[in-house]
Structure 1
Amino acid sequence: MSDKIYFNTSEKFNLRRSLINMGTRVHHKVAPKHARKVARQLLLTPVRSQPKNAEPEGLMKGTVASMHGELTTYTLGTGPVWVLNHGWSGTANQFFPLMEYIAQAGFTALAYDQPAHGSSGGAYGHIPAFVQGLEAVLDSVEEVAGIIAHSMGTASTIECKHHKAINSPLLLIAPVLEYLDNLFGSVQRSGYSMKLFEEVVKEVSVEYHYPIHSIDPYGKLKMRTQPTIIVHDKADKFTSFAVSQQAANEMDKVTLVATQALGHGRIMNSDPVKQTFIQLANRK
């Protein structure tokens, strides 16, 4: 159900949306505690996507302990380590073709399933969990050459305060740079009670000591000193190409590679992403 909320881009009137709005508002008024519990299950539980790509030969699986349970890791290749961070309702499996390319280029590709995603433990997915998941993976390796992230994974990567994230070049694929606008806009379009959603967000913020309004990938990207290359499709339906273009225009350390007809998902293993990786990996 959460995918239908977060990946819904329609602005048109919809009877189902109106019924959802009415039902969630009534539920919240009549039984607020139960409504918040149901909302957590609905809004913070990602779809555990089924693997679509075959495992590359030589792929090694492992686990890393995190605050949200054990995270499943996938390692391929030898050489400097590049960490790959997927998005909401995604898995490391989406990166397998790109990981093969990275390994063939003489590097190590280290991908992992975020909390509550893929084969990893954890009940809920949200920015604090994504950030803490990345921190756990970064702690598991001595050095990191760079980070590749997709969609919500880009927001958590920029938000991450781990020194290995701060000091690494970034390859951001279809990034979510205006995270709060994207999040609240998606829920609002679904028809879900915004008051109820805001209460759930507040609970998570307090529980993890992570104020929702402190989340600002765009602003934090401005402060980065390491190079960042964004690869974004002009017709992406889920994250704003215009915002990526604005970031590249305003920020000296940010470069934009625009693509066409690759959408939000297929772009992950596209030639522009592979070429950008080589550019970043071999930079002087």
Structure 2
Amino acid sequence: MSDKIYFNTSAKFNLRRSLINVGTRIHHRVAPNHARQIARQLLLTPVRSKPNNPQPPAMVKGIVKSAHGDLTTYTLGTGPLWVLNHGWSGTANQFFPLMEFMAQSGFTALAYDQPAHGSSGGAYGHIPAFVEGLDAILDSVDEVAGIIAHSMGTASTIECKHIKAMNCPLLLIAPVLEYLDNLFSSVKRSGYSMKLFEEVVEEVSAQYHYPIATIDPYAKLKARSTPTLIVHDEDDRFTPFVVSKRISEESPKVTLVATTGLGHGRIMKSDPVKEGFLSLSKCKSNCTL
């Protein structure tokens, strides 16, 4: 259900959206506690996507403990280590083709399933869980050469305050930079009761001591001193390309590679991403891509 909410880009009127709006508002008015419980299940439960890419024979699976349950990790290659962070309802499996390329190029690629995603534990997915999941992964390794992230994984990577995340180069694929606007706009388009949604958001914010108003990947990316490369498709229907273009024009540390015809998902294993990785992997903290 959550995928239908967050990945619904249609702004056209339809009866189903209207019925959802009326139904959730009535439910919230009649039984507010039960409505919030159901809303958490609908809004914070990602789809556990089935793997589409074969697992490379040399890949090593592991487990990293986190506050949100055991996280399943996938490691391939030798050399400088790069961490890969997937997006909402995604899995590490989406990165397998890119990881094979990275391993062949002399690097170690470490991907993992975020809480409540893939083979990892946890019941709910949200920004605090994504950030704490990345924290746990970074705590489990000695050095990190860089981080690659996709979609919502980009927002959690930028939000992460771990020293290893803040001081390394980033490769952001189809990034979510205006996170709050994307989130609230998606739920509003679905027809879901905004008042009910806002109460769920406030509950999560209070539970994890993570005020939603502090979430601002765009501003935090602009403030970073290490190089960032964005690879984004001009026709992406889920994360606006114009935002990536704007930040690349405003920040000298952010470089944009524009693609066409790759969309939001297929871009993850595209040649521009592979070429961008090689370029960024050779870049020092003060370089210009």
How do 1:46-195 residues align onto structure 2 when only pairs under 5 Å count? 46-195=46-195
Partner Cα distance (2:188, 2:195) in 1: 10
* Secondary structure of residue in 1 paired with 2:73: strand
Query: CA deviation digits over 1:238-263, x for unaligned, max 9?
Result: 00100000000000100000000000
* Secondary structure of residue in 1 paired with 2:70: strand
Query: For residue 196 of structure 1, what is the aligned residue in structure 2?
Result: 196
How do 1:238-253 residues align onto structure 2 when only pairs under 5 Å count? 238-253=238-253
Q: CA deviation at 1:207?
A: 0.1
Query: For residue 41 of structure 1, what is the aligned residue in structure 2?
Result: 41
Partner Cα distance (1:112, 1:33) in 2: 34
In the alignment, residue 191 of structure 2 is paired with which amino acid? G
Query: For residue 20 of structure 1, what is the aligned residue in structure 2?
Result: 20
Partner Cα distance (2:207, 2:271) in 1: 41
* Secondary structure of residue in 2 paired with 1:125: coil
How do 1:220-259 residues align onto structure 2 when only pairs under 5 Å count? 220-259=220-259
- Aligned residue pair count: 284
Q: CA deviation at 1:110?
A: 0.1
In the alignment, residue 180 of structure 1 is paired with which amino acid? L
In the alignment, residue 117 of structure 2 is paired with which amino acid? H
Percent identity over paired residues: 77
In the alignment, residue 267 of structure 2 is paired with which amino acid? I
Partner Cα distance (1:115, 1:57) in 2: 25
Query: For residue 280 of structure 1, what is the aligned residue in structure 2?
Result: 280
Partner Cα distance (2:11, 2:137) in 1: 38
Partner Cα distance (2:66, 2:225) in 1: 28
* Secondary structure of residue in 2 paired with 1:69: coil
Give TM-score, length-normalised by structure 1. 1.00
Query: CA deviation digits over 1:68-93, x for unaligned, max 9?
Result: 00000000000110000000000000
* Secondary structure of residue in 2 paired with 1:147: strand
Q: CA deviation at 1:205?
A: 0.1
Query: CA deviation digits over 1:120-170, x for unaligned, max 9?
Result: 000000000000000000000000000000000000000000000000100
Q: CA deviation at 1:184?
A: 0.2
In the alignment, residue 73 of structure 2 is paired with which amino acid? T
* Secondary structure of residue in 1 paired with 2:198: helix
Partner Cα distance (1:163, 1:26) in 2: 46
* Secondary structure of residue in 2 paired with 1:72: strand
* Secondary structure of residue in 1 paired with 2:64: strand
Q: CA deviation at 1:38?
A: 0.0
In the alignment, residue 127 of structure 1 is paired with which amino acid? I
Runs of 4+ in 1 over 2 A off after TM superposition: none
Give TM-score, length-normalised by structure 2. 0.98
* Secondary structure of residue in 2 paired with 1:66: coil
Q: CA deviation at 1:100?
A: 0.1
Query: For residue 287 of structure 2, what is the aligned residue in structure 1?
Result: none
1:7 aligns with 2:7: yes
In the alignment, residue 231 of structure 1 is paired with which amino acid? V
Partner Cα distance (2:264, 2:161) in 1: 26
Q: CA deviation at 1:283?
A: 1.9
Q: CA deviation at 1:42?
A: 0.2
Partner Cα distance (2:191, 2:92) in 1: 31
* Secondary structure of residue in 2 paired with 1:231: strand
In the alignment, residue 93 of structure 2 is paired with which amino acid? N
In the alignment, residue 169 of structure 2 is paired with which amino acid? P
Segments of 5+ residues of structure 1 without an aligned counterpart are none
Q: CA deviation at 1:282?
A: 1.4
Q: CA deviation at 1:272?
A: 0.1
